[in-house]
Structure 1
């Protein structure tokens, strides 16, 4: 099995991006790679099933392949109902960036038993600046892009730069979050890879003109898995559930301020200030987020908070933005606020608290939310909830869904990779 050819995870992402287009979604909120797909040559039938919208408006999906007898689930995830905010500016190579030698890059991977075909050896140059990595990647001239949104070989080359981050073993992405494609048909990319939490990176890719092509808010990596390790156990994957929190311990009163125009108090009865720097020291700040139209204001407040040394976290208050109970009907437009702030929380732990409520909030609610020590809290009536990981159930036999024929060369080589959509029966 050491010489087996595995379909790259970027090919599953390519299918998910195409499914998002077909269903009117904006991108891939999450993609979890569960089991490798070994290419044996010839055609392989792959099926991607997109389900109806969940309470947040996202659409769950799964990807399966079939041999002569059985279905195998290779990936699961969610297609995003809400577009992620695009950060200002484009990646630019910093003046202090130091070149990374690539002469032995693919040779060392070959020696370790991880051999890339010529079409997947797309790293052209790389640099390091602090914790960030930058890379130039390109497709070989002979590789056609027809039929692809973003060729898996090109995005795979961009992800290969993550192996330059160091560690005992190189890592490869196995979980994508908040991935969106903004331009199609690229053959060259300039890529910025930045830390986004433990063992995770964010990736932003632009073309040679600086046009944004692809962005993923978070890629979680794991060490290379040998092809003969098989699929992950059914109970090794997790999902997020909201669980009740115990009543917090009594906490001292706090002084509060609302971050908004001078006439705003939003029912809290506390002073309002236009920006964090104007708030007196020792005062806790709450920012009210209405919907996606508030994102520019929220982003500015987040950036200002990061630039200051205030010890108090910024509390961002939303209403009906997340689904906590089965009866909840969140407003999809407000989910973008949580997407933006979750990214900020992963990059700057302890600086932000997300609070969602289904009722008017008092300063006592704000104080008690901070007293829980949780980065994300939901109020439903008198109860408080926080997100927790729980085990995800095993896959079921797939129903009818979007299908692809996956074609490689007779030897299973990735150099002639082709994905051909098969129109599903309606």
Structure 2
């Protein structure tokens, strides 16, 4: 809450209390001294919502003097909703979001720098590469706690019948080998792969690291700049060739979201679908009885098995009067046993090394072990700390990549639009 808004709100609250005959302390606690915090969660899958609500109940039972209210948010509109709440002085104390959404809020002064508040246990348990996803200008503005590698979900029967080598986290396919397997799996009425690229940017950037690409770079002055180099063409070129040259990837899937591809996958129209790790839950719930599927690691390239990720995060609003208590709740929520509960509820991987070692995350069932083996290869998404990234993504990169993958423009035009048009966008944010 900005200073003027805070004074106005405080005056209004005091007047209301006088009119109703209630009493309150000067710092906004209840009359009996109870502190109340609002925790906005973006959990949406039933298991995840249940896990979050249960942990809130456990905290409240153990901390009668600091009570947490669970507030349900939505991934669909979280950025605009948070911006409105920040500007209106109504932001929740504890904020669930994703690291690639934090930069503008952090630079705008809406989030608390957590460095002096974080417990040593929590700082030590989460690897430095994860902390880099929430570090802006030297400050830490969120605690990264869940992450999601991209994997290949394959029809087990079709994969075995093709005679292809089954990849493992130790010996993944190369991008060239993946392209050949996709062709081998393609026949009349069936595509080897379906790329759901309705939102193509994060897929392209994050998998692009395995090709040795980066796209976003820093000049000697620390300013972000875009360059489309040889490594950036590995993944983009593979996808384009699969759709337009090999005809091994379904063109219609380019406009789909991940969930949209599942009926075709179950029906045998697609032999493989590259998806986020959490989609396994939908597959478990929706797959026809007897349908056999397997989780395979994403292909590797010159950059090895590196993948970019934007972990889910927990932040504290700068306007919260109870920052210390809010961080104590975050610390409770992310104790290793609780982090495991949250990860399993969301079908994702915890960032904490202790939680990641839990036996339940290393079972073959539903591909847990494959995903967990990929955790060491996860890196901060290339555009993690770049101001202006949302505008570049929406106005420049999304339409350019959609046209490129469909075959409407060539590599030279893609480079021109991503780099030339993109750098003009970034320049406005770095004056």
**What is the TM-score when the length of structure 1 is the normalising length?**
0.23
Which structure dedicates a bigger proportion of its chain to helix? 2
Q: Which has the higher contact order (CA 8 A, sep 6+)?
A: 2
**What is the TM-score when the length of structure 2 is the normalising length?**
0.23
